[in-house]
Amino acid sequence: MLSPSVVIAKSYLKLAPAFPPRHWIAAKALERAQMEYEDEIAGGFLKWFPKVNLSGKSVFDIGSGYGGRTARYRELGAQKVVGLEIFPRMVEEAQAFAEYKGLTNMEYYVGEGEHLPFADESFDLITSYDVFEHVHDLDKVFDECMRVLKPGGRLLAIFPPFYHPGGSHLEGWVSKMPWPNFFFGRETLIRAVQDIMRERNDGYQPHPMRPRDKLWTLNGATIRSVRAMIRKREFQNVRMELAPLFSPLNEKWARWKMRYYAPFFKPLRYVPLLNELFAHRIVLDITK
């Protein structure tokens, strides 16, 4: 029998159910890579850093996905692009996509960010798009990134704080309801999600949770914890910004008519504690 809190959590999640898209379950060959590539052409990661010039640089993309974005970085003039992912199938598709595009000086590795398989001071630039919330130990990954950056090199990272409206990442496969991980405790939410998945019985299962995970594949990084992590280290330059919840950088800007209510939410990213709930992304630009 479910506890009352789990019943309430299930009812909340079911108010706006979500289901995994087809390409999560049965993607066609190179489909995911092509989607990433087209997204980057439309702006993707680099829209957050419009003044960045990739020309002639050695670029390491940590959490490189299916290789579509890294292929675009190479086309934009990067001298060499290296990607890292934890799943071999993603690396294989990235390699195949680079070949399909006729691109050279592209390398992909299977590995974890906590133990990068590269020598010290190997790269001019490190990019990370919606990845830092997923790594197992962000502190270790951050130190590894600094180790493999050349002096004067830059780390550019974008990722949502854990209590962002969709920071639980459940909107992709369980529920579109906002802030479930704020309204409900960890164990309550896990039990509610598991029961919903049992009832559906559609064959889809998320990746197993790791020992340090707050939720599936999420380390629970918050604005506060990231700031504390940065304060413990010294850099040539640090820029940490909080992107507003509603802005043209959000892909739903036009569809949801966000421009009409964005001004009311924009100041909330500067209010302590509330910013955890109303910041769209953490934006990091750090020079070693």
Report how far residue 53's alpha carbon sits from residue 254's, in angstroms, rounded to the nearest whole number. 28
pLDDT at 61: 98
Q: Using alpha carbons only, what angle is made at residue 286 by residues 135 and 50, rounded to the nearest 5 degrees?
A: 100
- pTM here is 0.95
**pLDDT for 238:** 97
Per-residue pLDDT, 25: 87
Residue 240's pLDDT is what?
A: 98
Query: pLDDT value at position 135?
Result: 97
Enclosing domain of residue 77: 22-164+217-287
Q: Please give the Cα distance from 14 to 16 (Å, whole number).
A: 5
| 195 in any annotated domain | no
Domain presence at residue 186: no
pLDDT at site 183 = 97
Overall number of domains in the chain: 1
**Distance (Å, whole) CA 264 – CA 71:** 38
Domain of residue 138, CATH code: 3.40.50.150
Amino acid letter, 5: S
CA separation for the pair 10, 188 (Å, rounded): 9
C-alpha–C-alpha distance, residues 226 and 132, integer Å = 10
Give the C-alpha distances (Å, rounded to integers) separating 115 from 84, 112, 145, 197.
11, 6, 10, 33
Question: How confident is the model at residue 248, as a pLDDT?
Answer: 87
Q: Is residue 36 part of a domain?
A: yes
Q: Is residue 269 part of a domain?
A: yes
What are the strands, taking DSSP E only, across 13-148? 58-62, 80-85, 106-110, 123-129
Whether residue 10 lies inside any domain: the answer is no
The conformation of residue 125, written as its DSSP 8-state character, comes to E
* Predicted pLDDT of residue 201: 92
| Residue 174 belongs to a domain | no
Segment-wise mean pLDDT, segments of 10 residues, the chain, 288 residues: 95 97 91 97 95 97 98 98 97 98 98 97 98 97 98 98 96 96 97 97 91 96 98 96 91 79 90 95 98
In a domain, residue 281? The reply is yes
- Count other C-beta atoms under 10 Å from residue 158's C-beta: 23
Q: 262 lies in a domain?
A: yes
Give the pLDDT confidence score for residue 225 in this predicted structure: 98
